[in-house]
Structure 1
Amino acid sequence: MSINLYSALAWVEDVEIDDVMHARGYIFGILVAWLIQAPSLSRNLSGYTPKTTVRPGFNLRFILTFSLLALLDADRSFLYGLLVGNLILSTLAFFMSRLQLAGLLFQVFIPALALASVVGVFLFLSEEEKGNSEMGAWLLPLALSLPTMIIGWSIPLGKSLYWRGSWYFPYPRKMPPGLSRDPQQKFRHTLLPGQSPLRGIGMWLAAWPCCIGSLGISIAAIHQLLSDPSSSVSGFCVPLVGGGVIAYHQSRKLFLRGRRHLSFGIESPDILHPGTFTLYLRPFKEDQAHTALKEDMHMGGDPLSRTADPLGGLLFLPVSNRDEEEHIADALKPIGPLVAVGAPGEFLPFAGAVRMYLPQDSWHEEVSQLIARARLVTLTLGSSKGTVWELSESIRILPPQRLILMLPRRMSQEEYEGIRMENERNLRAVPESDRNRTWVRADPPSLPRYASAESSRDPVAGLISFSPDWKPIFTPLSSAHAPWQNLGTGLIRGLRPAFGRLTSYEEETGWHCG
């Protein structure tokens, strides 16, 4: 007579057969997760650092497999086992693989879950509930605004995480002569007179109820308009909808203002280890321009026209409270922290790059040394004498792979051509003994001809990088038309070729600076 193993276990341990079956589902799910993810993660479990990044298909196929099994109504214990097994493998894997996996989850899984929840709400409501005008008046604004906000938040975050996990820039294998210190871990910070960390924390805490309250006002006003449009109160609801959206955008600025109070400056540039940071050069007037927050996500829409939207602009509300410079710092984060020279007399530092402050009478020599020690130099073009000098000095000192230029969208062709001609004059005046050894031609490198970019509200029209023989390469940045696109996602696409050339340069030379 045959004996059922599960019955025996249940009799011995006094456990229900259903519990044993659930345990089997968990175990089987964990094993299947290992089989799905092992090809992409097995090299990383021992701490081995891969030379190339994990291909997206390896991580994406787990998400696709899990989604397919869920649609086929697989056993819940098996699906839970898949998730548990994948989480266990992810914690054991290389940090970059975990970032890539998290990025794919934010780009695919969370948006799909948000859309599925909306569809599920309308599909599974009973006929009585659908006919309830009170419930429908609440569901319509919530079902249309919240999922788009979740998607607008999760996809850019996922792209950023996946981008950071796609590049591996280790500390130099070959140290420059005379340097033997460990990699840069932290900075010694200093505060400016206008900073108050306590005030910054207070602004950050106050921003949450302000944002939630302003959205609540708009949603409540829309509910009143939909439930009883003929009411005398409804006439006051129309301006309340637009006013709530405008108040929401103003509340987002509290987050930014609070982070400015919580930012720190570098005490001295001498504490920066060579090859551990990205130097950000720009005209000081760009600082104020780069503090703008994205106001709306409509295609080419005017932020003041959001009240003309039937939902008062709630359909495509941006949830990010980062300004433009913070997007730049985030896109360049795989290489190192973004460091910039602060404007003289600055009272409150800007968010994004970590500021340092140099004496006005000797800043040329200090900046020249910072250019030579930076792993990458990113320069926003400008027509001021100081910015043009920084451009010429960067081309004179750096190899081409370590320089990236940003072309502001508001820069006219006349201003750009003036910068290009002045830079050529400066480089031709450099003595032969001080010229860059990487210049392969008799004439010094030059910027490309002006390329008109498509109309957009994004601040950066394109990136200028250089091939190993100093041939300029212009990469236009596509406009942010979709709700989940912003300056950060555009920079991620535009920086990929330049990052690839920097990786090849470091693999060939083994140096990150010098």
Structure 2
Amino acid sequence: MSKPGTALKRTGIALIVLGGLIYFVSGGSEGDNPLAFFGLVVMLAGLLLHFRGRGLAARARSDSVASSLRSSQHTVLYLRSFQSDTSTSLKVLGSGFTTEEEQLADVLRPIGEMIAIGRPGEKLPLPGATRMYASDAEWQNVVLNHMASARLVVLRAGPGHGLFWELRESFSELPPDKFVILILNMKSRNYRAFAEEVQENFRLELPSLTANSAWKGIVDFREPSRVTSGFIRFAADWTPEFLPIPFKVVRLGYNDLRGPMNEALQPVFESQGMAWHRVGRL
């Protein structure tokens, strides 16, 4: 018996291949054959099906007896604004075969299984971190309980009162070597606002980050107004250190950030007393 989501993922890949063949045989962008447009539609449908299959697999993983939420295995708590989720069709299509969150969860798996609060009302959990769900009255206690037991807490910088509460609790409850801030695809003005909030409320000055150059933004599918992505880790006295995610020219839409994220996180692995190993796209 195949695993949940496998059939949809395979169908999605088949549609992507079929759509690509139709597109190129029909002349692609060089011709005016309407079949070329149809080929693009088939490819996009394949990407959406593949993503849904990964969502079904994520739900099965969360529901399984072996889920990190029901076992004693080590965990990594992932905190973020729901705005960061790959929750719209446009974001799904832009993410390719693996989302940023899936790649982050894969890279951090040697430290622990990545877990996160799920968006209320979502029909399928997004692929990546194992989702747990809580009511408005419960979610803060759920976060605090998992924060206390997690091997590592990763907070993706962003907007929102809920995220800022999680940030405050992280600074208050965690030792510095257990907390990392992720800066990913963030506009310059949003990072400045986030850093100013941290400075004002915690008297902690986060590193100044420069915006991506125009050519890098084109190759990396990011706007030039976005700052360099990376992780901020902290020394024993809470002095921050920025660990940039290395820039890679080749972008294939599959595990593009897996290797670069892994390289950036080498000091974090070492601070956890774990051996670091280089990983590739596969």
What range is the shorter-chain TM-score in?
Answer: 0.7 to 0.9
**Which residue of structure 1 lines up, in the alignment, with residue 118 of structure 2?**
342
User: Would you say 1:209 and 2:14 are equivalent positions?
Assistant: yes
Aligned position for 2:194: 419
Q: What is the identity, as a one-letter code, of the residue corresponding to 2:187?
A: M
Distance in 2 of aligned mates of 1:278 and 1:370 = 9
Out of 281, 286, 297, the residue aligned to residue 79 of structure 2 is 281
Matched residue count: 256
CA distance in structure 1 between the aligned counterparts of 2:251 and 2:12, rounded to whole angstroms:
23
- Deviation string, structure 1 residues 173-206 (Cα, Å, up to 9, x no partner): xxxxxxxxxxxxxxxxxxxxxxxx97x4542342
Is the 8 Å Cα contact of residues 215 and 248 (structure 1) preserved in structure 2?
A: yes
Aligned twin of 1:142 = none
CA contact (8 A) 2:198 2:206 kept: no
Equivalent pair of 2:80/2:158 in contact (CA under 8 Å): yes
Residue 211 of structure 1: CA displacement?
2.3
User: Out of 50, 64, 73, which is 1:255 matched to?
Assistant: 50
Q: Which of residues 358, 363, 366 is equivalent to 2:134?
A: 358
What is the aligned partner in structure 1 of residue 99 from structure 2? 323
The 1:206–1:388 alpha-carbon spacing in structure 2 relative to 1, beyond 3 Å, is same
437, 448, 459: which is aligned to 2:206? 448
Residue 466 of structure 1 is matched in structure 2 by 234
Q: Give the root-mean-square deviation of aligned CA atoms.
A: 3.4
Shift of 1:486: 1.3
Compute the TM-score of the two structures, normalised by the length of structure 1.
0.44
Gaps of 5+ in 1: 1-196, 224-233, 297-319, 428-443, 505-514
For 1:209 and 1:378, the matched residues in 2 are separated by 35
Correspondent of 1:218 among 23, 35, 42? 23
Letter in 2 for 1:327: Q
TM-superposed CA distance for 1:245, in Å, is 4.9
* 8 Å Cα contact 1:388/1:419 also seen in 2: no
Partners of 1:295 and 1:496 lie apart in 2 by 28
User: Identical aligned pairs, as a percentage?
Assistant: 29
- Conserved 8 A contact 1:388-1:423: no
State the TM-score, normalized to the length of structure 2. 0.76
Equivalent residue, structure 1, for 2:269? 499
Choose from 26, 49, 70 the match for 1:271: 70
1:487 aligns with 2:282: no
Listed as ranges, the gaps of 5+ residues in structure 2 are 275-282
Distance 2:17 2:196 in 1: 52
Alignment of 1:104-183 (within 5 A): none
Change (3 A) 1:481 1:240: farther
Per-residue deviation at 1:372?
1.3
Q: Which amino acid aligns with 1:390?
A: E
Aligned equivalent of 1:150 = none
Residue 172 of structure 2: aligned partner: 396
Quick one: distance in 2 between partners of 1:447 and 1:366?
Answer: 29
What whole-Å deviation, never above 9, does each CA across 1:243-291 have from its counterpart, x for those lacking one? 5356324412211111212322369997353x70111100011113698
Structure 2 letter corresponding to 1:420? A
Distance 1:235 1:276, change over 3 A: closer
Secondary structure of the equivalent of 2:246? coil
Q: 1:457 is matched with which residue?
A: 221
* Residue 279 to residue 421, structure 1, CA distance change in 2 (3 Å): same
Residues 218, 420 of structure 1: alpha-carbon distance in 2 compared, 3 angstrom cutoff: closer
Output the CA distance in 1 between the equivalents of 2:211 and 2:38. Answer: 34
1:69-115 CA-to-partner distances (Å, cap 9, x unmatched) read xxxxxxxxxxxxxxxxxxxxxxxxxxxxxxxxxxxxxxxxxxxxxxx
Higher helix share: 1
Show the counterpart of 1:371: 147
1:396 and 1:370 mapped to 2: Cα distance?
15
Counterpart CA distance in 2 for 1:387 and 1:333 is 23
Q: Partners of 1:387 and 1:483 in 2: how far apart?
A: 30
Larger C-alpha radius of gyration, 1 or 2? 1
Alpha-carbon shift at residue 242 of structure 1 (Å):
6.3
Instruction: Provide the rounded CA distance (Å) in 1 between the counterparts of 2:162 and 2:68.
Output: 19
Q: Structure 1 segments of 4 or more deviating over 4 A?
A: 234-237, 239-243, 266-270, 293-296, 424-427
Query: Which residues in structure 2 correspond to 1:285-324 (within 5 Å)?
Result: 285-288=83-86, 292=91, 321-324=97-100
- Report the Cα offset of residue 483 of structure 1: 4.2
Name the SS for the 1:453 alignment partner. Answer: coil
